[in-house]
Amino acid sequence: MKGPNFVNNGITFKGCGSYLPTQVLSNEKISQIVDTSDEWIKTRTGIESRRIAEVDENVSEMGFKAAVSAMAMADWNSESVDLIILATSTPSDLFGSAPMIQSKLRAKNALAFDLTAACSGFLFALITASQYLSSGKYKRALVIGSDQLSSYVDWKDRGSCILFGDGAGALAIEASNDQNNLFGFNLRTDGARGSFLNLYNKKLDGNIVDQIKFRKGEFSNISMNGQEVYKFAVREVPIIISELLKETNFDSEDIDWLILHQANQRILDAVGDRLKINKRKILTNLNKYGNTSAATIPLVLDEFIRNHKIKKNDIILTSGFGAGLSWGAALLKWG
Ligand code: UT7
């Protein structure tokens, strides 16, 4: 019979993993390079230290290690994975870093590609993967968030260098035809406000021959208007979450855990207050790792699943936000 050869499926969560580089950059050490203090950074952001990748580490390497750990928890063999999406803004290969992860995993049956949406990247990748799985054509996906912002931070800019760190996290998700643990999602972009946070391609010209010039492929440093990004997050995140709760018929009391992109403890507190979500439900590890961009959400998930705080069937509300500007939220049940 002619017609579609697949049906809609739900998705379930099978495993998680993470990787953090071993070099620790404390607030005290940052105070040696810019005019700041441990006290200022802690009170304004909640961050105490962050991890910095070694020179021979990169996004694929970190993402690979996080993926190995997620696959072990899911008890999957490499050949059973059919999709790998890597959320990153700091690729180790501009043509795509996900294929390197696929190759290192020996996941030869997996389609693998990168997705860039800065700090919302993991959430956008999770929703993208869920659409592949719900089509019925793909069964097992690894969704990875891996970023190495230390390569692009302006280490002379005290307004931004204090925030960022490196790391990777991963989730193993599977299609199911009798269960759907992704209850809903909402994703947004507003390019008109993109200038608040960016990592532009430098305008540097080179000459090929005669009068034929080209633009060199070099990137600048992260440039950020901290106050505007702060206001954006505190305003937009509660709105998108409230809309999602309404669409899914959930109340904030139904939520077991809120996992927000780890940007600033004051943002986490303000969003929690606006949504009237009890502080003890807001999970964070920002103090240890800072803002690792696409990696923050899976890093928090992995830490609190492994320490048994998050349990099977817990309801998790998660939201990512950042450059683009981009933001989004998803509501899910672990398991
Ligand atoms: O994934 C999204 C990534 N981006 C973000 O999440 C950024 C969101 N924004 C923020 O987290 C905050 O805006 C920052 C932490 C970046 C800055 O905190 P703030 O409370 O908004 O500080 P501010 O920019 O209003 O600056 C207040 C003062 C200024 O001095 P004056 O003009 O009052 O004398 C700054 O020059 O603090 C000064 N300042 C610092 N002082 C010590 C700015 N950075 C530092 C610093 N140490 N690191």
Instruction: Return the pLDDT at 81.
Output: 98
Instruction: Return the pLDDT at 52.
Output: 98
**Neighbour count for residue 192 (Cβ, 10 Å):** 7
Which of 37, 89, 223, 230 is the best mutation target for the ligand 1 pocket, counting ligand atoms within 8 Å of the beta carbon and taking the most?
230
Contact between 182 and 330 (Cβ < 8 Å): yes
| Distance between Cα 83 and ligand 1 center (Å) | 40
CA 160 to ligand 1: nearest atom: 16
Q: Per-residue pLDDT tens for 271-287?
A: 999 999 999 999 999 99
Contact between 262 and 119 (Cβ < 8 Å): no
Core vs surface per residue 61-78: b (16+ CB within 10 A) or e: bbbbbbbbbbbebbebeb
Judged against a pLDDT cut of 90, whether residue 4 lies above it is answered with: no
| Distance between Cα 47 and ligand 1 center (Å) | 13
Q: Per-residue pLDDT tens for 246-266?
A: 999 999 999 999 999 999 999
Q: For the residues 100-112, what does the mean pLDDT come to?
A: 98
Decide: helix, strand or coil at residue 2.
coil
DSSP-derived letter for residue 112 is: E
Q: For the residues 327-332, what does the mean pLDDT come to?
A: 97
Report d(CA 130, CA 138) in Å as an integer. Answer: 9
Residue with CA closest to ligand 1 atom 17: 226
Q: For the residues 91-95, what does the mean pLDDT come to?
A: 97
Contact between 133 and 173 (Cβ < 8 Å): yes
Q: Which residues are catalytic?
A: 119, 261, 291
Q: What is the helix (H) or strand (E) element at residue 180, kind and residue range? A: none
Report d(CA 125, CA 87) in Å as an integer. Answer: 6
Report d(CA 57, CA 251) in Å as an integer. Answer: 43
Which of 44, 149, 153, 291 is the best mutation target for the ligand 1 pocket, counting ligand atoms within 8 Å of the beta carbon and taking the most?
44
Question: 94 falls in which pLDDT band (50, 70, 90)?
Answer: very high
278 lines ligand 1 (CB under 6 A): no
Judged against a pLDDT cut of 90, whether residue 8 lies above it is answered with: no
Q: What is the helix (H) or strand (E) element at residue 17, kind and residue range? A: strand 10-19
| Distance between Cα 71 and ligand 1 center (Å) | 39
271 lines ligand 1 (CB under 6 A): no
Instruction: Return the pLDDT at 178.
Output: 87
Decide: helix, strand or coil at residue 71.
helix
CA 158 to ligand 1: nearest atom: 48
Report d(CA 193, CA 135) in Å as an integer. Answer: 33
* Structural domains of the chain in order of their starting residue, each with its CATH number: 10-176 (3.40.47.10), 182-195+221-333 (3.40.47.10)
Q: Per-residue pLDDT tens for 148-196?
A: 999 999 999 999 999 999 999 999 999 998 899 999 999 999 999 999 9
Residue with CA closest to ligand 1 atom 13: 226
CA 213 to chain centre: 37
∠ CA 151-260-91, nearest 5°, is 25
Report d(CA 17, CA 63) in Å as an integer. Answer: 9
Report d(CA 177, CA 282) in Å as an integer. Answer: 31
Q: ω before 163 within 30° of 0 (cis)?
A: no
Could you tell me which residues come within 8 angstroms of residue 152 by beta carbon, excluding any fewer than 6 positions away? 90, 199, 219, 220, 221, 222
**Neighbour count for residue 307 (Cβ, 10 Å):** 8
What is the DSSP secondary-structure string of 128-174? HHHHHHHTTS--EEEEEEEEEGGGT--TT-TTTTTTB-EEEEEEEEE
